[in-house]
Structure 1
Amino acid sequence: MAFGDSTRYQSKTAMTEINVVPLVDVMLVLLIIFMITAPLLTHSVKVDLPKASSTLNQTQPEHIEFAIHADGSFYWGGEPVTLDQLPARFAEAVKQSDKTELHIRADRDTHYELVTKVMSIAATAGLARIGFVTDPTENQP
């Protein structure tokens, strides 16, 4: 038996037609997929997203650094204060400038009740800008 014998294939002619049936099957499947997914892409929810900038937020010098420790002690700019002194001090700060901001630093284990009391007293005194100071470098448990 000879491996290079080409006499076997001399009588058969080469197939010159392309079989398009598998090609048509694939195209129909793709058409159905696109017909199903195309309407899903046109329905979107309109959301007014906030604009962000990469500039640093410079705090104004008119702000109050207020700290609440886990044991319930309060500090106004590093100075210890009591809960009873807060309404008068907040009212005095608002009289000096109506743009005064309150920056609250609370320990992780501080009771939420203490934070809400301070926020309520500040809002009653007229402070409209209240924010929380966090440590972004701290690892979360």
Structure 2
Amino acid sequence: MKKLSLQPAPSQRPDIEPVLPLINVVFLLLIFFMVAGRLAPQLPAEITPPESETAKGTSSEAIRLVVDRDGNLYWQDVPMALADMPDRLDGISKDRPIQLLTDGDIPIILLRPALAALRDAGITDVLLVTRSAP
């Protein structure tokens, strides 16, 4: 004959589910998004690029030249004088693209000296970085 007990039968699973694997996954996701969250490097000057209807991706191996609203030059985020540009361009390959980041409202008169120095150095590939039009 079977004996009846008033106490519940012991369960096979523990009362508290182990949460350590969940904490590990959340922690790894947090680290991943913190590292991958910074996709574009900060610019040395505040600019608003001009808009483009057909925006293409830019090459990651391009050299970045920034011209701010006042016509100041930044070569790979380091301030540079226009007279120093031939020395900077002397050691690089002429077919390596140059990304030109500038403000959309800059007058062309401030941009011409930088473009002329690039042309005189034999640079044939200048990429004007724009933002997508809404």
Q: TM-score range by the shorter chain?
A: 0.5 to 0.7
Instruction: Please give the per-residue CA displacement for 1:8-34, whole angstroms capped at 9, x wherever unaligned.
Output: xxxxxxxxxxxxxxxxxxxxxxxxxxx
TM-score (normalizing by structure 1): 0.50
Number of equivalent positions = 79
Checking the alignment, whether the CA contact within 8 Å between 1:70 and 1:107 is kept in structure 2 is yes
Checking the alignment, whether the CA contact within 8 Å between 2:63 and 2:98 is kept in structure 1 is yes
Q: Which residue of 1 aligns with 2:120?
A: 124
Greater than 2 Å deviation, 4+ residue runs:
none
Higher RCO, Cα 8 Å, sep 6+: 2
| Structure number, greater radius of gyration | 1
The reply to whether residue 87 of structure 1 matches residue 86 of structure 2 is yes
**Structure 1 unaligned runs (5+)?**
1-55
Checking the alignment, whether the CA contact within 8 Å between 2:71 and 2:111 is kept in structure 1 is no
Distance change in 2, residues 1:58/1:109 (3 Å): closer
Give the letter for the 2:77 counterpart: G
State how 1:14-93 maps to structure 2 within 5 Å.
57=57, 59=59, 61=61, 63-93=62-92
CA RMSD of aligned residues (A): 1.9
**Structure 2 unaligned runs (5+)?**
1-55
The sequence identity of aligned pairs, in percent, is 22
Checking the alignment, whether the CA contact within 8 Å between 2:70 and 2:110 is kept in structure 1 is no
TM-score (normalizing by structure 2): 0.52
Instruction: Please give the per-residue CA displacement for 1:76-111, whole angstroms capped at 9, x wherever unaligned.
Output: 111111111112112222xxx232111101112322
